Structure 1
């Protein structure tokens, strides 16, 4: 494989030269595994998804290429331990480690082996993988090397799949608004910390049932809960899966098919929790349509003559001034995976490190009727307290009497 980085990919590559734009998916699996079987499966998974084995070549001022030439298979590191929190410590070690984009590959894996159970951790540069892509990779690896691998196909860049790919100057204005917001003071007070928790099947059912009854969504309810956990109006970053608007659809392709928007949510407003959640839902529905999302990708075509080092410097300078948001909340629902022979996927978490500002990044994964949540931040105590306040807000909202549908505003 050899193709030019698209303008959107080039911006993410430039960001990755000055920031640790890394993402992890953590699969908790019941059953015994041989590390050599995982290595063999990694090799076949790479053949299915070429971006797992690429590097950035011929990097010039205005262009660069993705190539699989002379790139080894992704590394698998094995950690043998029965410590219950070993996988979280591995995530904290791996997320800040940058990839050498000139040599590749831009993905690596860790097997935390506890004997009868294990954790498989996929660490990917955002240039080649988003959250949905990481779950696809985990699924393919657990299926094993005997899983049928089709002939590799060219992996199209998201720029070529968005509606009306030709850029317009108005796209820059929409990009500026989507990424805008006043900066917050830098919160980085210590090393990166990752904390996880889960909501049981009973708790998850209660939340989803109430959201439907109130005319809200889980994402809107989460945004409302976190907004009410702040003593001031909050700016919330919402990562968005672009697959919903692409043509042709990316389907099970592994690559960068996501973006993010920043939306103001005033949790201090004198309205009830569910009223606020409905307002958030309406606002997000408007901003995740094709006419709003496409410009966030197309705009980088207008910036394609900006040298990547200049772009990286601008990004680094922006980070130095602080975070553009108070909290990032990502939410994805994964289909139930089958048992993988003697193995059973019992939980899957996501974690990310895409900023030096210390702003907390919350990732929520729905799987097998439960919600698996994580938060990463450079301010471990502050992020834990924020999540506790948000979960308390959500619990209070669930305990409140429902409002008849005809009274929803």
Structure 2
């Protein structure tokens, strides 16, 4: 494979000197050997083409995924597990480490262990993975730790955008002309758009909390009864919390990443992929009740998803490579018009119990964005509990304010749940 990064991957690559990494951590009770972990990672690496590739730039500085038989095995760093908070400390360290070794693959593992419990952390650059990728990789690792004889079926990489979409989308001259036109518009936009703001200079941080199983079940039941999605209800809560803490500085908007696998059949649920189309959502200023607002958010999201022509979006994005450095600079220096990027991974398809160990908890992925506005909240559900991670940078959003927002989220959820169960 020698493939130029597609536009979504290219933005998340940033450049050769800037790390943009995601971390996915699980806590396991039980024992497994280093030999079994190496075997699991070897088989996972052999299945996924992107784990047998590195990123190399050509003479013009354009990055490519390049397959190599000389890459090392996925490296494992072993450390002592002292407390339940260690994974957060290690996550922040891993955000800032580049994947730039000449023979290093685009993944690594940190194994924190004591006599009975381990934290297993998988780290990948964001340009090769999304939330679904992490769930697939971790599921495979855990299954192989428990059953080393299990075999995985590899798949072929795609070598171009046309190769990815060949079975489900045909590129017409009209579509190509439309894409060319918008690429010119983008160049003009970024030509006159100021990117003189400063890059984030503070420290990235991570907040983490859970909604226990009882409250998670209550929220899910209330959403079902009201005819709204949990995501829509949480969007309303988050935006109300930002408004409460930030006041007039709040934008009242949330960015929603959408799983591209809903639209492109060629990208299977267990394939590595990084691009996610987005929808921007807001909450009405009208004095409606909480559930009326949530219904409106749900309707808006469904309308925007239904209108997404992801095949055409993927095609058109390939005409924007000439503007990619300006786009990245724009993200690094402007605050944007949204409060937070919010991703709901839903119930994780990872088993709780294995023959030789149990998964005690799974933490929602974390990411250290180098953007001026890095506010990111991810929620996932495992063993009936919602797990939240909130990542940002203290030069953009002071950690104290983020803690206030977190506490306000929990307060608002408590108010809504207690109001309906009083």
Does the 8 A contact of 1:227 with 1:234 survive in 2? Answer: yes
Match of 2:169 among 158, 164, 171: 164
Spell out structure 1 runs of 4+ moving beyond 6 A.
Answer: none
Match of 2:299 among 282, 286, 303: 282
For the residues of structure 2 that align with 1:170 and 1:283, how far apart are their CA atoms?
A: 26
Give the match for residue 45 of structure 2: 46
Q: Deviations over 1:45-68 (max 9, x none)?
A: 101122123112352438553223
SS state at 1:355 partner? coil
Q: Give how far 1:119 is off.
A: 0.8
Q: Give how far 1:190 is off.
A: 3.6
For the residues of structure 2 that align with 1:276 and 1:189, how far apart are their CA atoms?
A: 36
- Over 3 Å counting, the alpha-carbon distance change for 1:25 and 1:169 in structure 2 is farther
Give the match for residue 234 of structure 1: 252
For the residues of structure 2 that align with 1:351 and 1:157, how far apart are their CA atoms?
A: 29
SS state at 1:288 partner? helix
After TM superposition, the structure 1 = structure 2 runs for residues 3-402 of structure 1, keeping only pairs within 5 Å, are 3-8=2-7, 11-12=10-11, 14-17=13-16, 19-57=18-56, 59-61=58-60, 64-69=63-68, 70-100=70-100, 104-144=104-144, 146-156=148-158, 159=161, 160-161=164-165, 164=169, 166=171, 167=175, 172=182, 190-229=202-241, 230=243, 231=247, 232-266=250-284, 268-289=285-306, 291-304=308-321, 306=322, 311-333=324-346, 334-349=348-363, 350-379=365-394, 380-401=399-420
Aligned residues: 390
Q: Give how far 1:141 is off.
A: 1.2
- Over 3 Å counting, the alpha-carbon distance change for 1:6 and 1:233 in structure 2 is closer
Q: Give how far 1:96 is off.
A: 2.5
Does the 8 A contact of 1:24 with 1:121 survive in 2? Answer: yes
For the residues of structure 2 that align with 1:110 and 1:364, how far apart are their CA atoms?
A: 22
SS state at 1:42 partner? helix
Please, which runs of 5 or more residues in structure 2 have no aligned partner?
none
For the residues of structure 2 that align with 1:362 and 1:139, how far apart are their CA atoms?
A: 22
Q: Deviations over 1:96-126 (max 9, x none)?
A: 2232286542211101112211111111112
Does the 8 A contact of 1:22 with 1:353 survive in 2? Answer: yes
For the residues of structure 1 that align with 2:342 and 2:265, how far apart are their CA atoms?
A: 26
Does the 8 A contact of 2:127 with 2:274 survive in 1? Answer: yes
Q: Deviations over 1:151-181 (max 9, x none)?
A: 53213379424953635566659x98xxx9x
For the residues of structure 1 that align with 2:159 and 2:45, how far apart are their CA atoms?
A: 18
SS state at 1:258 partner? coil
For the residues of structure 2 that align with 1:348 and 1:96, how far apart are their CA atoms?
A: 22
For the residues of structure 1 that align with 2:123 and 2:90, how far apart are their CA atoms?
A: 10
For the residues of structure 1 that align with 2:263 and 2:415, how far apart are their CA atoms?
A: 36
Q: Give how far 1:369 is off.
A: 1.5
RMSD: 3.0
Q: Give how far 1:317 is off.
A: 3.7
TM-score for both structures, normalised by structure 1: 0.85
For the residues of structure 2 that align with 1:397 and 1:169, how far apart are their CA atoms?
A: 50
- Over 3 Å counting, the alpha-carbon distance change for 1:20 and 1:337 in structure 2 is same
For the residues of structure 2 that align with 1:150 and 1:281, how far apart are their CA atoms?
A: 38
With 208-217 and 44-53 compared, the bigger mean Cα shift is at 44-53
Q: Give how far 1:249 is off.
A: 4.6
For the residues of structure 2 that align with 1:126 and 1:236, how far apart are their CA atoms?
A: 20
Q: Deviations over 1:331-351 (max 9, x none)?
A: 012125152321111221211
Does the 8 A contact of 1:18 with 1:312 survive in 2? Answer: no
TM-score for both structures, normalised by structure 2: 0.83
